[in-house]
Chain A
Amino acid sequence: MSTTVPPFQEHGLITINHSITVANITVPKQQFALVNVASFSGDTISSGILGLGLRGLTAAFTGSNPSEDGIGNLVNYAPLMETIGTSKAASPILSFAMSREENRSYIAFGGVPPVSTGEYTTVPIQKVPTCPEKASRTPTLCCIFLLCGANI
């Protein structure tokens, strides 16, 4: 049995350059990974993950030998949402409209998608250390990122 993507009328995504492009946004000089070793259980459709978290969770390490990776050589680099903000490609705002129907969900960058909603609520994300390992990580930008939720 293979998983299939339902047909849909696609909005956005123009890919004419060698950048990473999400919706209509070209993100300049984005750091990303080409995976050459994987123990993974995929869905037969997707080829990777778009990491929308912040800098504090990046998992790059100095060196080329994974067996030597640890907290000592951890590299915190600018993930996608940070690059979107600092490059001014869009405001560093991420929003989702989620539906249980197959193709009526949306992701939007720099604002909210044009769907009918009720009132919105925004909250700043606060960074807190969760464990000694995390606490020892480099302090990161954390308040440039807004969450948007709708009360309907």
Chain B
Amino acid sequence: MTRLGVKAQLGFLALAATTSAVPVEHNQLSSTHIHAANAGLVLTDNYHTLSRIRRQPGVSRTLDTLRQIRRNRMFKDVSSLSPNDDPTGVDHIRAELNQIEYIMKVGIGPEPYYMIPDTGSSDTWIVQDGFKCIDPFFAEEVPPEYCQFGPQFKGDFPGGKIENQNLNISYLSGDYLNGNMGYAE
């Protein structure tokens, strides 16, 4: 399978960082209203909680060297990497251990699912029931649990499948996906 140059980065844009980001009644926000209005913005009730979660510890696959391993289907024991072997790579691995992620509920059809809001990519997708989970190093099918998704979407596109179109995306993490495209209602 050809991997494409479409590299989208999972990244979050922290825009309004406050130490006490607690919604309060609009009438208690007179100065915020003014600040927003001065910037041509309005306060909205169309907001939703983001949950801050800590991902499970694991080894990042961001490293180019690891992608190379996958492409070449060569095995290398990642845990044996030491700072002397590949200082750059080990820094990457350290940086992505125990990483924090913000997730939110999104309605896909009548059911809510947790999704990762990502300002660095443009495709909205959900994993479909019965999907094939592929081992990144050997490119072989492995049990779906290995991919560590939440609940899988059952059923088909509510607004119809788009014939003759496919999703093909690789993230900088080394994760990659294929799927069908279609519409919600």
Residues of A bordering B, CB below 8 Å: 1-6, 8-25, 27-71, 74-75, 77, 79-80, 90, 93-122, 133, 146-150, 152
State whether A66 touches B166 (Cβ < 8 A): yes
CA distance A70 to B114 in the complex (A): 31
Q: Which residues of B are at the interface with A, using a C-beta cutoff of 8 A? A: 1-2, 4-6, 8, 10, 12-26, 29, 31-32, 35-36, 38-58, 61, 101-128, 130-136, 139, 147-153, 156-159, 162, 164-169, 173-185
Whether B181 lies near A33 (C-beta < 8 A) is yes
Task: Kindly list the 3 A-B residue pairs having the minimum CB-CB distance in the complex, ordered from nearest.
Answer: A111-B44, A21-B107, A15-B107
CB of B4 within 8 A of CB of A33, answer no
Contact partner of A38 among B47, B61, B147, CB < 8 A? B147
Q: How many A-B contacts at CB < 8 Å in the complex?
A: 468
Please state if A59 and B4 are interface contacts (CB–CB under 8 Å): yes
List 29 interface pairs A-B (beta carbons < 8 Å), by A numbering: A5-B53, A20-B107, A36-B128, A37-B134, A38-B131, A39-B139, A39-B174, A42-B149, A43-B148, A43-B150, A48-B116, A51-B122, A59-B122, A60-B167, A60-B168, A64-B165, A67-B2, A75-B165, A102-B51, A103-B52, A108-B44, A108-B48, A111-B42, A112-B42, A113-B21, A113-B43, A117-B36, A122-B40, A150-B17
| Docked-complex contact B120 and A53, CB < 8 angstroms | yes
Q: Once the chains bind, are B23 and A114 in contact (CB under 8 Å)?
A: yes
